[in-house]
Structures are given as C-alpha cells and as structure tokens.
C-alpha cells in the first residue's frame, strides 16, 4: 500500500467537490469567483468530502481499531458540526447585521459605509450529506485503485 494515499485522497475529494460546485453554479446561486476561492457553502460540502474521505481511507488502510481512525473520526465530527451549525448561525447573524446596516444607511445615520457581510456561509444538511457520500466514495475508489 502506498503511504501517500492518506494524504492524496482527501485532496482529490476536495478538488472534485469544488469541480461539482462549479458545474452546479446556477443551482447554488453563487458567483464563479466565490466558488473558485474554495467557498464555504454550496453543493456538495467540500469540508465533508475532505473529512469523510480521510476517515474512509484511514479505516480501510489502518483498520477501525487504529488510533489514527479514532482521531480522524473526531476531526470529521468537529468539522461537519461546524459546517452545519456554527456557520449557519454566522449566516443568520450576517443577514441580520446587513438589515441593520441597510436601515441605518436609509436613515442617513452612518458617516461611513460598512461592507455587507456574507449571508451564505454554512451548508444545508443535504449539502453535507452529499459531501459525506462523495468523500466515502472517493475513499473507496482510491483504496481499490491504489
């Protein structure tokens, strides 16, 4: 077994997730510029694809009783939880702040311009599930091919 497979597999999964995002650009309602910057939203979740491909390839090469598997699984749980929950809160907060900025601008209350915050930072459950399935699939394919 080639030792670099654990490093290469998550990178391939992330690149494929980003390519799929570009192909689905109209469905995601995002600009091409945002997608090419490895955006934090859209279908599928690149973070979920990265972490689940890592968990899968480690499980297949090192075994389920490996400390490396346990560590990668804990890492995946933290990253996926962040993609689903924390960044959804940030998206909601950005939307509220943008409304406040717009209201203050309409009242001519502000002396300077404030930039609008991103309102699409987190992932939906479907985007995360798609990323997880993509990651596991890439992990399996890489294990079989190499």
The Cα–Cα gap between 42 and 62 comes to: 32
Residues 6+ apart with CB under 8 A from 120: 29, 30, 41, 91
Of all residues in the chain, the percent with pLDDT exceeding 70 is 64
Domain ranges of the chain: 5-83+124-145
pLDDT tens, residue order, the chain (146 aa): 577 999 999 999 999 998 888 787 665 555 555 555 545 667 788 889 999 999 999 999 999 999 999 999 999 999 998 878 776 666 666 666 766 767 666 656 555 666 665 656 667 888 889 999 999 999 999 999 98
pLDDT of residue 23: 80
The Cα–Cα gap between 73 and 17 comes to: 20
pLDDT of residue 29: 59
The Cα–Cα gap between 48 and 78 comes to: 10
pLDDT of residue 104: 65
Residue 115 Cα distances to 16, 29, 39, 99, angstroms: 32, 20, 19, 12
111-123 per-position pLDDT tens digit:
566 666 565 666 7
Mean pLDDT value across the chain? 80
Residues 6+ apart with CB under 8 A from 98: 116, 117, 119
pLDDT of residue 116: 63
**pTM reported for the whole predicted model:** 0.75
């Amino acid at each position: 077994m080639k030792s670099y497979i654990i490093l290469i597999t998550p990178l391939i999964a992330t690149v494929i997730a980003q390519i799929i995002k570009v192909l689905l650009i109209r469905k995601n309602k995002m600009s091409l510029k945002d997608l090419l910057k490895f955006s934090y939203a859209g279908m599928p979740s690149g973070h979920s694809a990265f972490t689940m491909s890592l968990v899968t390839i480690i499980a297949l090469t090192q075994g389920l009783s490996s400390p490396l598997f346990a560590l990668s699984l804990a890492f995946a749980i933290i990253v996926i939880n962040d993609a689903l929950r924390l960044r959804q809160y940030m998206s909601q907060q950005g939307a509220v702040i943008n409304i406040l900025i717009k209201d203050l601008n309409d009242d001519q209350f502000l002396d300077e311009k404030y930039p609008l915050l991103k309102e699409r930072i987190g992932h939906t459950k479907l985007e995360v599930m798609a990323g997880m399935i993509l990651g596991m699939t890439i992990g399996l394919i890489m294990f079989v091919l190499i």
